Amino acid sequence: MAASQAAASEQSYAPAPSKVNPNLYAERKELFEKTSIISDIPWAYLAAVDQYERTMNIAKKRPVHKGITSIYFPESDWAGILNPDQQDTNPKSISFFHGYGRDGSGDGVAERTNDLDLLASMAFLMSKNGTKEENLLINLWNYYQNSRSVERIKQFATIFNTLDTLDLGEHAFPLPVSADYSYRSTWGDSRGWGGHRSHEGTDLFARHGVPVRSTCYGIVEVKGWNPYGGWRIGIRDVNNIYHYYAHLSSFQKSLKENDIVKPGQTIGWVGSSGYGKPGTSGKFPPHLHFGLYRDNGLTEWSFDPYPSLRKWEREDRNKRRK
């Protein structure tokens, strides 16, 4: 990936979730729980779709209404593609033209900017053929026409369901800040250690066996060997950011794919694995290669993790002082 492209995409990184009013998470969760009772869709699935839409609003820079939810329908989807009135808010004519718009607030109007209407519309299309998990997944596939979207929503639902909260903005530095380590900004260097051709990440040099910790709340998406990355782990967070940890000497044994992790949780140990067949090690000094990737629904691009690392390091140092 060209460095200029990566630099441009970095600007679209989500605003720090820690700055969000914590009451908003509780308010949002309550709304999903209420809708769950009416629609029979598990609250974690309503939350997951809403969150997926939020990440797409950021990745695609879509116009966002100020509200509790982030569900987005283009006009033609809302009103119906053949509807002569593309701003239609009449549930009857919308329904006639097979639009997704529904009235969830009970005021007789289906508005694309009303949280309850948006949520009711999404709940309706999700539960068309039933509300069992497999039905929800099929309905979501029919809507998004993209298995990647469905996979993300399933992952988010697992995270929300396991942790029972939407307040998951906390992060941690990938190494204990008390350990001996060093790193610098190397974004776009033509060559890094461990055979990364274009260096899409930051190398954190530390001794063999220093614990590697999850930087986020998330779900283990990938765990295993890769010829370049060696023993590596990929964790997806609810901002649809993929956190990538490479060249580990070993993994935390109990950790499996689809497990939920928390910031600061040990996932493996620093090593120098990689650049060959499984088990190859010692071709370069031990270090953690850390990368961040954003999903835009169709593909994924890396952005410079260095500013985030500096922020998380500072936060962990402050926690230690308290």
Contact residues: Zn ion, CB under 5 A = 192, 196, 203, 289
C-beta of 176 vs 274, nearer to Zn ion: 274
Q: Which two tokens stand for residue 120?
A: 């009711």
Region of 282 (left: φ > 0; alpha: ψ -120 to 50; beta: rest) is: left
User: Using CA atoms, how far apart are residues 277 and 228, in angstroms rounded to an integer?
Assistant: 9
Select 65 or 283, whichever has its Cβ closest to Zn ion.
283
Q: How many CB atoms lie within 10 A of CB 27?
A: 12
Q: CB-wise, 150 or 248, nearer to Zn ion?
A: 248
Q: Find all residues with CB under 8 Å of 298, minimum gap 6, and list them.
A: 146, 148
Q: What is the DSSP string of 267-312?
A: EEEEB-B-SSSTT-B-SS--EEEEEEEEE-SS-EEEE--HHHHHHH
Nearer to Zn ion, 80 or 192 (CB): 192
Question: Count of alpha carbons within 13 Å of 195, Cβ hemisphere only?
Answer: 16
* Residue with Cβ nearer Zn ion (121 or 302): 302
Give me the least distance between CB of 7 and Zn ion, in Å please: 18
Nearest to 259 by CA among 169, 176, 163, 191: 163
Q: In the numeric block, which tokens belong to residue 162?
A: 């396991």
In the bound state with Zn ion, the residue whose beta carbon lies nearer, of 50 and 203, is: 203
Least distance (Å) between residue 246 CB and Zn ion: 7
Least separation in angstroms between CB 172 and Zn ion: 20
What token pair was written down for 10?
């970095």
Q: How far is the CB of 193 from Zn ion (least distance, A)?
A: 5
Q: Whole-number minimum distance, CB 292 to Zn ion, in Å? A: 13
Cβ 106 to Zn ion, closest distance in Å? 55
Q: Nearest residue by C-beta to Zn ion?
A: 289
